[in-house]
Amino acid sequence: MISSKLPDVGTTIFTTMSQLAAETGAINLSQGFPDFDGPQALREAVGRHVMAGHNQYAPMTGLPQLREAIAAKVERLYGRRVDAAAEVTVTPGATQAIFCAIQAVVGAGDEVIVFDPCYDSYDPAVRLAGGRCVHLPLTLPDFAIDWQRLAEAIGPRTRMIVLNTPHNPSGTLLERSDLERLAELIRERDIWLLSDEVYEHLVFDGREHASVLRHDELYARAFVVSSFGKTYHVTGWKTGYVVAPAALTAELRKVHQYVSFTGVTPLQWALADFMLAHPEHLDELPAFYQAKRDLFCDLLAGSRLGFTRAAGTYFQLADYSAIRPDLDDVAMAEWLTRVHGVAAIPISVFYQQPPAGLRLVRFCFAKREETLREAAQRLCAI
């Protein structure tokens, strides 16, 4: 008999809901991926590099040209000059980057503080490292950090704190003042940070992304993770990266080299080319996704769903209390999919212990206009 290291882990809700959407023909607003392609110039660059013979292993740390482009982006947007050779690592996806960062510094008996609702890969990665997650709920309805509760949770075994901004699933943002409070709280402690910033460019209404990369004190102890898939509409490319101080990067790479060794070479070449030729893509991305958010929310105004417009990411939470308060959110997501043809994600799956009476589902609005219009029409008819 197999003795499972993750006995309570099954198929993720994202796989389950996407499969149910496919089986029922529902519009899939559940799993977070666009139903449109990435930029044509980016896609054409892949073929060009495949035909040019760039098909063998890239360096373990990532293609030098891509790491240089990342370093240039970090300096331009966040004012931090990082060493592309010593502080930037390209990985096959942000989830792998998160896993490697956790394995690099978390050991048996260590505690890692995460804020619920949180991305589902954090806890298993910590447990596989021999550690234990301490789940702290964000305050409702604004999904803010309870600073008193965080202060009380930090103890001698606390090894890492995981941040996520812009936040999945709520779409909320940390502010610069939050980073200052965190710095003050951990200043005299030996605690590492993992800052999951995969939606860094999806920030709306003129607000600024409060990256840990902007904060000298916090960056000195942080792994900062981002995703090309989210930024360039190519989630299936599974390419991300980590920016971290040289000493932390060295430890991360010790793990990364034995997990995947390197990422896909022609994709890295294509991304490096596109970043150099089209820096405006990053500047235009907030308005691009804000227009989709606003369209979807404007269309939902005629529904019985309650919502506050997301400040970031490409997800929109909706309260369904006025429609089916008798259903928990997992049952509601299935009902929406089977009966009304729109797939969503229940929020309770992002919690270790979901709050009683939680009646929220998450919709992905990284979709074509016609997809959003048809989905909203179905939702407004309920």
Q: Looking at the predicted structure, is the pLDDT value of residue 1 above 90?
A: no
Q: Are 22 and 170 in a shared domain? A: no
Check residue 58 and give its pLDDT. Answer: 97
Average pLDDT over residues 298-302: 96
Region class of 203: left (phi > 0), else alpha (psi between -120 and 50), else beta: beta
Q: Are 107 and 242 in a shared domain? A: yes
Q: Are 202 and 243 in a shared domain? A: yes
Sequence-ordered list of residues with C-beta below 8 angstroms from that of 1, at least 6 positions apart, any chain = none
Average pLDDT over residues 173-191: 97
Sign of CA dihedral 174, 175, 177, 183: positive
Q: Are 21 and 139 in a shared domain? A: no
Check residue 298 and give its pLDDT. Answer: 98
Check residue 299 and give its pLDDT. Answer: 98
- Domain span at residue 333 reads 13-38+281-380
Q: Are 49 and 22 in a shared domain? A: no
Q: Could you identify the residue written with the tokens 């990369």?
A: 213
pLDDT tens-digit profile of 72-85? Answer: 999 999 999 999 99
How many independent structural domains does the chain possess? 2
- Note every long-range contact of 92-95, with CB atoms under 8 Å and residues 24 or more positions apart, other chains counting: 92/238, 92/239, 92/240, 92/260, 92/262, 92/263, 92/264, 93/227, 93/229, 93/238, 93/239, 93/240, 94/196, 94/198, 94/225, 94/226, 94/227, 94/229, 94/230, 94/240, 95/121, 95/240
Q: Tell me which of 231, 251, 277 is where a domain ends.
A: 277
Q: Looking at the predicted structure, is the pLDDT value of residue 108 above 90?
A: yes
Q: Are 115 and 19 in a shared domain? A: no
Q: Tell me which of 245, 277, 309 is where a domain ends.
A: 277
Q: 8 in a domain, yes or no?
A: no
Average pLDDT over residues 113-120: 96
Q: Are 255 and 335 in a shared domain? A: no
How high does pLDDT run on average in the chain? 97
Q: Looking at the predicted structure, is the pLDDT value of residue 222 above 90?
A: yes
Average pLDDT over residues 26-36: 95
Helices (H) and strands (E) counted in the chain, each on its own, are 15, 12
Q: Looking at the predicted structure, is the pLDDT value of residue 11 above 90?
A: no
Q: Tell me which of 220, 246, 277 is where a domain ends.
A: 277
Q: 5 in a domain, yes or no?
A: no
Q: 349 in a domain, yes or no?
A: yes
CATH number, domain of 24, equals: 3.90.1150.10
**DSSP string across 252-265:** HHHHHHHHTSS--H
Q: Are 72 and 176 in a shared domain? A: yes
Q: Are 28 and 44 in a shared domain? A: no
Check residue 13 and give its pLDDT. Answer: 86
Check residue 9 and give its pLDDT. Answer: 87
Q: Are 290 and 312 in a shared domain? A: yes
* pLDDT band (50, 70, 90) for residue 362: very high
Q: Looking at the predicted structure, is the pLDDT value of residue 2 above 90?
A: no
| Beta-strand runs (E) in the chain | 27-28, 88-91, 111-116, 132-137, 158-164, 192-196, 222-227, 240-243, 315-319, 342-343, 345-346, 360-364
For the chain, what percent of residues have pLDDT higher than 90? 96
Q: 2 in a domain, yes or no?
A: no
Check residue 319 and give its pLDDT. Answer: 98
Q: 3 in a domain, yes or no?
A: no
Check residue 124 and give its pLDDT. Answer: 96
Q: Looking at the predicted structure, is the pLDDT value of residue 125 above 90?
A: yes
Average pLDDT over residues 112-119: 97
Check residue 359 and give its pLDDT. Answer: 97
Q: Looking at the predicted structure, is the pLDDT value of residue 34 above 90?
A: yes
Q: Are 304 and 252 in a shared domain? A: no
* pLDDT band (50, 70, 90) for residue 14: confident
CA distances from 358 to 55, 332, 361 (A): 49, 11, 9
Q: 98 in a domain, yes or no?
A: yes
CATH number, domain of 110, equals: 3.40.640.10
Q: 253 in a domain, yes or no?
A: yes
Q: What's the pTM?
A: 0.96
Q: Are 109 and 158 in a shared domain? A: yes
Which pair of tokens denotes residue 18?
Answer: 């996407």
* pLDDT band (50, 70, 90) for residue 89: very high
